[in-house]
Structure 1
């Protein structure tokens, strides 16, 4: 289980943001991972999976890419990507690791639609996923892309939007995604200062309120229904739960702050973890 809330605004006022992201990564407590860092070779900011056979894939990341504007001169755009798995679908034999989807998009030069077109023309198979890409440039581009492979759904959101994604299709969201998205929107509309905003977003990501009943979650994940119905997952009997919170803020002046809170490994007692904080800043 993972959950993502994002907000885009191409024309922010003072104290508003072009992009706000709040997301949880849920994973087995024993699965090894690296905390977020900026890769010196590619410039991509991301945490990395270190599971044998899946090394250096990621669930989320961002970077700055080059692009050509209308004058055919080189400009810059900020790119963000996040992956959520689709739960409850049949497994694909010999499926490739889905974590490579985020990294290959961020490391490449293709736009998100170009990347998805190339992906669909390969023989590589993946288990079910939602792949989200956000591209923002000073030339006015503000687009959020969504691609799902089971079933095939491609969506584009332009301009100002507040959206939530989880481990189901976008047409059948879990109740925690719907209710969490509403609370996320309320937090944004309060026009808080940055420290207050980060605190409220973190509180949202740590919320253990159970959002039941939920027919879609019951259909896809009937085992563990109650513990999986909250934004912050603590499924102790399965050795699984929320391990990482990430907040990304891109302000009116194109200053970016990437904040990650992740459980320090090894995770001995997930009820009382040690949290490691990473803060990375850059500007467009």
Structure 2
């Protein structure tokens, strides 16, 4: 998962909107979104190499999503796969004591943070979300507003993050009706950042440029899926996942809807 945008409590009809892209090497085997046979309450795609996931939800309203922190100079090749952090939160959801569960899981994240390469983890439930960054060992509460999260901490204004936050904020505050295709369009923005605004994360100019757009398409790496998560005022959750080829062409859209 490379980038996600959150509109939290910005509308009465849709209190929660999350729009996210997963960027990954095309060769990495992946299963599309479905309810997992081993955990029937859990809806997510699955990384078939490490058996974790990058984003998911549960029938009880638990939510989790992951972005990697880009820092090629501090990569531990023996680190535990970060995708298990999303899966672990979603596997152990319960209807009761959600606030206690969040506090306990946050304590686990803090205790185990050195086992993983850098990450941001959005986790919680539809009414209470936070982002944990293991590099800074920091936690950010998702309050009312529009947020963007990419491959630095949530306070870092990379150009594509700013672009997406601005686009989503304008959309949710000005449109009378929320249209899924409009949200997918935001996730398809493929314009590159100006050279002067590129971050310097140690991957070199060519990669910084290629990775500077919301939607990424290169020879071996790019946006594999776009995912929408919307919760309406009646606590009906809609999940849509759109998969892309290595040419950036839309291949399949899967849709799920259920009451929490």
- What TM-score results when the alignment is normalised by the length of structure 2? 0.89
- What residue number does 1:257 align with? 238
- What residue number does 2:183 align with? 201
> 1 or 2, which has the higher strand percentage?
1
Unmatched 5+ stretches in structure 2: 94-99
User: Quick check: 1:63–1:80 contact (8 Å CA) kept in 2?
Assistant: yes
- What residue number does 1:96 align with? 80
Distance in 2 of aligned mates of 1:216 and 1:169:
16
Q: Deviations over 1:215-243 (max 9, x none)?
A: 5623343241221111111122xx00011
Counterpart selection for 1:58 from 50, 53, 68: 53
- What residue number does 1:6 align with? 6
Distance in 1 of aligned mates of 2:203 and 2:153:
14
Q: CA shift at 1:250, angstroms?
A: 0.5
Larger Rg: 1
Counterpart selection for 1:276 from 222, 227, 252: 252
Within-5 A mapping of 1:30-45: 30-40=27-37, 41-45=39-43
Within-5 A mapping of 1:8-87: 8-9=8-9, 12-13=11-12, 16-40=13-37, 41-51=39-49, 54-55=50-51, 57-65=52-60, 78-87=61-70
User: Quick check: 1:7–1:161 contact (8 Å CA) kept in 2?
Assistant: yes
Within-5 A mapping of 1:155-234: 155-158=140-143, 160-194=144-178, 197-213=179-195, 215=197, 217-222=199-204, 223-234=206-217
Distance in 1 of aligned mates of 2:195 and 2:53:
31
Q: CA shift at 1:91, angstroms?
A: 0.9
Within-5 A mapping of 1:86-125: 86-89=69-72, 90-109=74-93, 111-122=101-112, 125=115
Count of equivalent residues: 251
User: Quick check: 1:175–1:214 contact (8 Å CA) kept in 2?
Assistant: no
User: Quick check: 1:165–1:173 contact (8 Å CA) kept in 2?
Assistant: no
- What TM-score results when the alignment is normalised by the length of structure 1? 0.82
Unmatched 5+ stretches in structure 1: 66-77, 137-141
User: Quick check: 2:71–2:202 contact (8 Å CA) kept in 1?
Assistant: yes
